[in-house]
Amino acid sequence: MGLRSLSITLFASVLLAQLPEPQGRYTPARMTFVARDASRDEPLTPDPTDRREFAVHVWYPCMPATGSQAQYLPDLSKWREALGDDLLLSALDGALEPASRARPKVRAQGEVLHGRFPLLVFFPMPGASSLGYTTILSNLVSYGYIVVALDPAYEVFATTLSEGRIAGFAAMGWFEPPESRISVFEAERVKVWTADAKFALDQMAASKLFLRSIDWRKAGALGHLTGAKAAMALTRQDSRVKLCLNLDGYPLDEGFPKPIAIIHEELREPVRPVPGLIYDILVRTSAMHMRSYLDFDVLNGRPGAEETMLLLSQYTAAYFDKVLRHKMGTVLDYKALPGVEVKQYESPEGR
C-alpha cells in the first residue's frame, strides 16, 4: 500500500465512528417496519381519528454477505430536516456527528439464517430510540437471538411512521409535576407499550419471513428504565414470555412470578431479593451511569465507556444464555469480571 493510500485509510478510520463489534458467531441483521393497530387510538396526537402506530426494529441472525451495510440511524438526515439539529444533539448526548458516520457490524435486510432462535422483546427508555442500543442488541443477535425492538411513537426522539411521516417526542406528561401525576402518566404509557409489544409479537407469529426461525418455547423481554417496567408487565401478562431482564434496576414488584435479573449501577439502592429474582448484577466502573446502555458515550469517546459497554453486553447475553437456554460456561458461571458484582438468588422458577 502506498503512502497516499495509507493516509487516506487512516483518515477514514478516524472519521468513522466505531462501536464494539458483536462477540458471537452469528452475523446480525436488522429490518424495520411500521406497525399499525387499527383497534387502538393514539392519545398523544390531537387528531381523534389517529390510530396507534409505532416502529418495530427486528434484529436477527442472517446469512453472511447478504443484504447491505446497515447505517446506524438510517433516517437521520430526514430527522435532522424535520426536527432540527438542536433537538437531535440533545437526544444523542452530543453524538450527532459520530452517529451520522457510524457503520455498525450489522447488515440491512440480510437473508434470514435458517435455524430456530429464541425471541426477545426490547423496550427503550423514554426519549431514546431502540437504535441507540445497537451494541447490546446486535451482540445478542450474534449469540443467536431474534430481537423485536420497539420505538413507541411520540415517546422516542424520532420515529419514521407510515407514508414517511416523522414523529418527534410529544409525550409532555413525563415532565408535568407533581411526581404523583407523572407516575400515573407513566403507568398509562406502560400499558400502551405492553399492548404495542403484544401486537408486535402477534405480527411476528404471523410473519412468513420468520415462520421457521423463531423458537416460541424460548422467549424473553428486556427494557431500560421505564422500558424495564414495560418488560416486566409484558412478562407477567404474556404466557409466551418466560423471563425478564431489567436494565438499571427499576424497583421490583413483590412476588414477580417468573425469573428476572437486574443489571444496575452503584448509585441505585440495593435490590431486595424477591421471589423469582435470579441475578442481581451490579456494575461498578468509572464510566457507568444511567444512560450507559446507550451507544452515545462510546461514540463520543468517553474514557472507559467502551469497556463498560462490553461488560453490559456480556452479562446481558449471558443471562439469557444461562436461564433461557440453560447453557453452561457463560460469564455468570465464573468469578465476576473486574468492575462487576453478581449476587444469585434461588427460586423455584429459575432452577
Please report, in tens digits, the pLDDT of each residue of the chain (351 residues total). 444 443 333 333 344 568 999 999 999 999 999 999 999 999 899 999 999 999 999 999 999 999 999 999 999 999 999 999 999 999 999 999 999 999 999 999 999 999 999 999 999 999 999 999 999 999 999 999 999 999 999 999 999 999 999 999 998 988 899 999 999 999 999 999 999 999 999 999 999 999 999 999 999 999 999 999 999 999 999 999 999 999 986 676 667 889 999 999 976 665 666 667 789 999 999 999 999 999 999 999 999 999 999 999 999 999 999 999 999 999 999 999 999 999 988 655 444
Q: How many residues does the chain have?
A: 351
- Residue 217's CB is within 10 A of a number of other CB atoms, namely 11
- Nearest residue to 296 (alpha-carbon basis) of 98, 100, 149: 98
- The dihedral through the CA atoms of 329, 331, 332, 334 has a sign that is positive
Among 128, 152, 121, which Cα is nearest to 59's? 121
Cα(221)–Cα(91) distance, rounded to whole angstroms? Answer: 24
- Per-residue confidence (pLDDT) for residue 18, from 0 to 100: 87
Report in angstroms the alpha-carbon separations of 350 from 218, 270, 278, 303, 323.
Answer: 14, 21, 7, 37, 7
pLDDT value for 4 = 46
Q: pLDDT at position 166, please? A: 96
Identify the pLDDT of residue 346: 66
Domain made up of 20-350: CATH architecture: 3-Layer(aba) Sandwich (3.40)
- pLDDT for 59: 98
Cα–Cα distance list, 85 to 82, 127, 347 (Å): 9, 15, 49
What's the sign of the alpha-carbon dihedral 343, 274, 193, 204? positive
Q: What was the pLDDT predicted at 3? A: 40
pLDDT at residue 7, as a whole number? 38
Query: Of all helices (H) and strands (E), which one includes residue 344?
Result: strand 340-344
Nine-digit cell string for 174: 413525563
The residues with which 36 forms a beta bridge, in sequence order, are 53
Q: How many CB atoms neighbour CB 159 within 10 A? A: 23
Give the rounded distance of the alpha carbon of 186 from its chain centre: 19
- The CA distance from 168 to 156, in Å, is 7
At residue 163, the pLDDT reads: 92
